[in-house]
């Protein structure tokens, strides 16, 4: 009884954060119980009304006989009718608020979860036999227009069924409400499924004004209206996509956002195709590499800078604070290394390496240095963005490199093999994405463990010419550029 009261009270106020819901009855049982309650309340009302009316009119019996005229006190009936009216209004309001048409989202979700529990067969008619489910527990809350729902699986949901619940719940909510429900995220934890819905899709951001871009010591680049790339938490990024999928536009947005974030931030470019990014880098007079030899020199400079930064961080061995370089030296700035079309560089370099002795081959040295930076440079605030149509197996085929990528982005429509290699899951497990307008998939470490829909930022070249803007921002750095 105490548990029932606590559970009842915990889900009433929709403004006090998370609500808990325990479903231990199917709809037929609920209707039967409600019918019995209505009958009980009706009988009680009639009984109390009759008793109070009789009690109030006992004293009127003799006066009525003497006057040969009925003397009747209707006060009790009026009070009881008023009570009945109040009860009816409260029940009607309860039904409205706890329905799929509820004006309060939290209570609407409660009613929908009750119905889904039965429709998905999560709750079975139970008895005292072994392995029968007796209750299903949900936790739900509304945060910044997002609906967070958690199902405590507790052993009554098998693995295959567990993976399918977010999709089934989304379809059920759309069917029942006639509204749009977008599956923003899903995570499977031990004994718990966490799902996030919204009624509006995430929206694209437009990079058309430097003054609109976020400025801070620690880089936190806005990717969409809801998603931010926190370089401190997710220091390395991998971007893959076919020609025309929007990779170059995305990288332009990242570079400009990064440099506009802090005048002390520095950038350098590796362009395996010696194309637009390489031309832009040279025009802006920032370190740019297009050949294997130039790439190796640039990466060597980055590793030297990384080691210098670590020496500076660890200079005081008695310092107890475990922090990043820029947090300790905020005037130094972050470093961004953009490695675009690495596969093209790898293919050309490996063709040349065949003519060289094993010890003189450049591609293994390049891969080793990139891997070293990916694994070790986070605390030194050196960030790598690696992009291309695909990645060399010598680099991102390495599980260590992939596990250290805090952001994985696929632009365009992937194939089954690409999805398996990049995300480690099957194509059928991905959300449906509109790739006609530079859409794709993203995993941000610490935010989502599975791919979610992603809309690439739009870089407006007319309002913010890339080469001219890049040169302006790089000149603002002055002598601060560490790798120049």
Phi, psi torsion values for 357, nearest 5 degrees: -70, 150
pLDDT at residue 484 in the model:
43
Is there a contact between 180 and 200 (Cβ–Cβ < 8 Å)?
A: yes
Residue 141: enclosing H or E segment and its boundaries?
strand 136-143
Same structural domain for residues 179 and 210?
A: no
Same structural domain for residues 55 and 151?
A: yes
| pLDDT above 50 (res 72) | yes
Same structural domain for residues 15 and 111?
A: yes
Is there a contact between 19 and 106 (Cβ–Cβ < 8 Å)?
A: yes
pLDDT at residue 396 in the model:
54
**pLDDT tens-place string over residues 348-370:** 898 888 988 988 899 999 989 99
Of 376, 351, 381, 374, nearest in space to 363 by CA: 351
| Residue 308 marked in a binding site | no
Same structural domain for residues 454 and 352?
A: yes
**pLDDT tens-place string over residues 207-239:** 999 988 888 878 889 999 888 998 888 889 989
Same structural domain for residues 146 and 32?
A: yes
Helices 27-57 + 105-119 axis angle, to 10: 120
DSSP classification of residue 24: -
Stretch 265-280: mean pLDDT, rounded?
94
Same structural domain for residues 169 and 241?
A: no
Stretch 101-127: mean pLDDT, rounded?
79
Per-residue pLDDT band at 314 (split at 50, 70, 90): confident
How many Å apart are CA 384 and CA 402, to the nearest integer? 12
What value, to the nearest 5°, has the Cα angle with vertex 469 and ends 465 and 473? 170
pLDDT at residue 480 in the model:
45
Q: Measure Cα distances from 292 to 255, 289, 301, 349, 350 in Å.
A: 22, 8, 14, 6, 10
Same structural domain for residues 211 and 187?
A: no
Q: By CB neighbour count within 10 A (0-12 exposed, 13-18 middle, 19+ buried), where does 321 fall? A: exposed
Same structural domain for residues 186 and 244?
A: no
Among 152, 180, 198, residue at a domain's last position: 198
Q: By CB neighbour count within 10 A (0-12 exposed, 13-18 middle, 19+ buried), where does 172 fall? A: middle
Stretch 105-113: mean pLDDT, rounded?
86
Q: Which range among 5-9, 22-26, 104-108, 173-177 shows the weakest confidence by mean pLDDT?
A: 5-9
Same structural domain for residues 219 and 360?
A: yes
Same structural domain for residues 260 and 340?
A: yes
Is there a contact between 392 and 343 (Cβ–Cβ < 8 Å)?
A: yes
| Residue 242 marked in a binding site | yes
| Residue 246 marked in a binding site | yes
Which parts of 242-313 are beta strand (E)? Answer: 266-271, 288-289
Q: What is the pTM of this model?
A: 0.74
* Number of other CB atoms surrounding residue 226 within 10 Å: 17
| Residue 244 marked in a binding site | yes
| pLDDT above 60 (res 456) | yes
How many Å apart are CA 482 and CA 333, to the nearest integer? 10
Same structural domain for residues 220 and 109?
A: no
DSSP classification of residue 456: P
Among 158, 173, 198, residue at a domain's last position: 198
The two tokens of residue 400 are: 């260590």
**pLDDT tens-place string over residues 399-410:** 666 778 889 899
Among 198, 217, 234, residue at a domain's last position: 198
| Residue 245 marked in a binding site | yes
β-strand 458-459 against 206-207: which pairing, if any?
parallel
How many Å apart are CA 239 and CA 422, to the nearest integer? 10
| pLDDT above 50 (res 472) | yes
Mean of per-residue pLDDT scores for the chain: 84
| Residue 178 marked in a binding site | no
Domain with 305 in it: what CATH number?
3.40.50.300
The count of domains in the chain is 2
Of 9, 193, 202, nearest in space to 116 by CA: 193
Q: How far is CA 430 from the centre of its chain?
A: 14
| Residue 243 marked in a binding site | yes
| Residue 248 marked in a binding site | yes
Q: Measure Cα distances from 105 to 99, 178, 194, 203, 265 in Å.
A: 10, 14, 18, 22, 44
Stretch 86-115: mean pLDDT, rounded?
85
Which structural domain range is residue 432 located in?
A: 206-480
- Classify 340 as helix, strand or coil: strand
The two tokens of residue 193 are: 């499924």
Is there a contact between 338 and 251 (Cβ–Cβ < 8 Å)?
A: yes
| pLDDT above 60 (res 195) | yes
Q: What is the number of residues in the chain?
A: 484
Per-residue pLDDT band at 14 (split at 50, 70, 90): low
Q: How many CA atoms, within 13 angstroms, populate the side-chain half-sphere of residue 307?
A: 8
Is there a contact between 393 and 350 (Cβ–Cβ < 8 Å)?
A: no
Is there a contact between 441 and 453 (Cβ–Cβ < 8 Å)?
A: yes
How many Å apart are CA 442 and CA 451, to the nearest integer? 5
pLDDT at residue 476 in the model:
65
Same structural domain for residues 350 and 263?
A: yes
Phi, psi torsion values for 215, nearest 5 degrees: -125, 130
pLDDT at residue 310 in the model:
93
**pLDDT tens-place string over residues 130-148:** 445 567 888 898 887 789 9
β-strand 266-271 against 335-340: which pairing, if any?
parallel
């Amino acid at each position: 009884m105490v548990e029932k009261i606590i559970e009842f009270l915990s889900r009433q106020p929709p403004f006090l954060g998370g609500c808990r819901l325990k479903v231990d009855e199917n709809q037929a049982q609920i209707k039967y119980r409600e019918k019995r309650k209505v009958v009980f309340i009706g009988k009680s009302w009639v009984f109390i009304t009759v008793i109070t009316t009789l009690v109030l009119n006992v004293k009127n019996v003799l006066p009525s006989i003497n006057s040969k005229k009925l003397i009747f006190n209707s006060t009790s009936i009026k009070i009881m009718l008023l009570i009945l009216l109040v009860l009816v209004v409260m029940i009607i309001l309860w039904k409205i608020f706890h329905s799929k048409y509820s004006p309060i989202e939290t209570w609407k979700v409660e009613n929908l979860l009750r119905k889904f529990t039965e429709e998905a067969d999560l709750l079975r008619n139970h008895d005292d036999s072994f392995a029968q489910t007796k209750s299903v527990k949900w936790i739900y809350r509304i945060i910044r227009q997002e609906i967070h729902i958690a199902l405590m699986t507790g052993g009554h949901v098998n693995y295959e069924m567990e993976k399918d619940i977010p999709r089934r719940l989304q379809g059920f909510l759309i069917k029942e409400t006639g509204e749009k429900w977008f599956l923003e995220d899903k995570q499977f934890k031990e004994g718990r499924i966490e799902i996030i819905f919204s009624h509006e899709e995430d929206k694209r951001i437009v990079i058309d004004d430097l003054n609109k871009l976020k400025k801070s010591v620690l880089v936190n680049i806005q990717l969409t209206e809801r998603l931010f790339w926190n370089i401190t938490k997710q220091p390395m990024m991998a971007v893959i996509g076919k020609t025309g999928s929007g990779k170059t536009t995305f990288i332009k947005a990242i570079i400009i956002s990064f440099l506009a974030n802090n005048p002390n931030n520095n950038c350098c470019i590796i362009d395996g195709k010696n194309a637009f990014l390489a031309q832009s880098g040279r025009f802006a007079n920032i370190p740019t590499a297009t050949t294997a030899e130039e790439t190796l020199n640039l990466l060597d400079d980055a590793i030297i800078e990384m080691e210098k930064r670590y020496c500076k961080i660890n200079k005081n061995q008695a310092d107890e604070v475990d922090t990043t370089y820029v947090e300790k030296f905020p005037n130094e700035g972050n470093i961004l290394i953009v490695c675009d079309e690495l596969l093209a560089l790898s293919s050309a370099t490996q063709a040349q390496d065949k003519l060289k002795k094993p010890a003189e081959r450049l591609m293994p040295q390049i891969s080793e240095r990139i891997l070293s930076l990916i694994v070790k440079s986070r605390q030194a605030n050196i960030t790598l963005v690696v992009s291309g149509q695909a990645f060399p197996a010598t680099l991102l085929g390495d599980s260590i490199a992939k596990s250290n990528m805090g952001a994985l982005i696929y632009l365009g429509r992937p194939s089954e093999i690409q999805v398996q290699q990049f995300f480690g899951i099957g194509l059928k497990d991905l959300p449906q994405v509109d790739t006609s307008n530079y859409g794709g998939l993203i995993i941000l470490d610490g935010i989502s463990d599975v791919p979610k829909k992603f809309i690439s930022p739009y870089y407006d070249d007319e309002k913010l010419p890339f080469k001219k803007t890049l040169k302006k921002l790089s000149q603002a750095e002055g002598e601060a550029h560490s790798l120049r």
